[in-house]
């Protein structure tokens, strides 16, 4: 394997898009930090990346707990180095009408979708600002473009809508520091082997990361094309 190009952290590294993005960036020469709740699963993926000649390590954390996030990123920095690419991919599909959902659960879902994203970005931002470079990429959803179709999944619809808004705000604020903030808005159901295959979607994250300064996109909508 060639020299390590940097450290890519995939926060919310679940099966599907998260693991596909991790593999893509590992193939491109990045050391990978995988953050998710289940240590055994992220260790398994870290092992697969290592078997392909890459460098990867898993970190167990509940990303809805914002107070825990700085501790996790301190560990990543100690083990692998400062994060140069953050991919935030955490969210929860909870089927429950808006008038029936427990407000505490609604708040927890928003914490996972949005507050965790903010806390992770805040954790990696100082090193990116010092380096004068970095990418912060969020996984968005089609419901943020058409929330009227979010019947029955109110917390996910609200979370993805808020995350999209946060992305646009953060992109403007961090651009002067040469930190690229963007979202891959997945406008369809992720399914291996189809138009929304995770590996195809992962390519879009890489394309955003590779955009040169001055030509940065804030949103890339993946419609299966």
Residue-wise pLDDT tens digits, 115-167: 999 999 999 999 999 999 999 999 999 989 998 888 999 999 999 999 999 99
Phi and psi, residue 85, nearest 5° = -135, 125
Q: What is the pTM of this model?
A: 0.95
Q: Pick the closest to residue 209 from 128, 107, 101 (CA basis).
A: 128
- Domain with residue 216: its CATH number is 3.40.50.720
Torsion sign across C-alpha atoms 161, 165, 170, 175? positive
Residue 47 lies in a domain: yes
Asked if residues 49 and 70 have their Cβ atoms less than 8 Å apart, the reply is no
Could you give the number of structural domains in the chain? 1
What pLDDT digit, counting tens, does each position of 52-86 carry?
999 999 999 999 999 999 999 999 999 999 999 99
Residue 183 lies in a domain: yes
Residue 1 lies in a domain: no
Q: What is the DSSP letter of 176?
A: G
Average pLDDT, the chain: 95
The domain of 180 spans 6-222
């Amino acid at each position: 394997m060639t020299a390590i190009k940097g450290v890519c952290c995939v926060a919310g590294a679940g099966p599907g898009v998260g693991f596909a993005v991790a593999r893509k960036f590992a193939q491109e020469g990045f050391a990978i930090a995988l953050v998710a709740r289940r240590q055994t699963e992220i260790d398994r993926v870290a092992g697969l990346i290592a078997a392909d000649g890459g460098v990867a390590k898993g970190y167990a954390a509940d990303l809805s707990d914002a107070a825990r996030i700085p501790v996790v990123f301190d560990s990543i920095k100690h083990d692998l180095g400062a994060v140069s690419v953050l991919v935030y991919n955490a969210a929860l599909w909870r089927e429950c009408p808006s008038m029936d959902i427990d407000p505490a659960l609604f708040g927890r879902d928003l914490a996972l979708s949005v507050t965790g994203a903010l806390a992770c970005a805040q954790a990696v931002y100082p090193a990116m600002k010092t380096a004068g470079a970095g990418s912060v990429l969020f996984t968005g959803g089609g419901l943020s473009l058409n929330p009227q179709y979010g019947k029955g999944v109110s917390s996910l619809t609200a979370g993805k809508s808020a995350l999209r808004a946060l992305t646009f705000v953060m992109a403007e604020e961090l651009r002067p520091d040469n930190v690229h903030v963007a979202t891959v808005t997945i406008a369809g159901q992720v399914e291996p082997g189809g138009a929304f295959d995770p590996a195809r979607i992962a390519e879009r994250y890489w394309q955003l990361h590779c955009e040169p300064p001055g030509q940065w996109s804030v949103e890339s909508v993946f419609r299966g094309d």
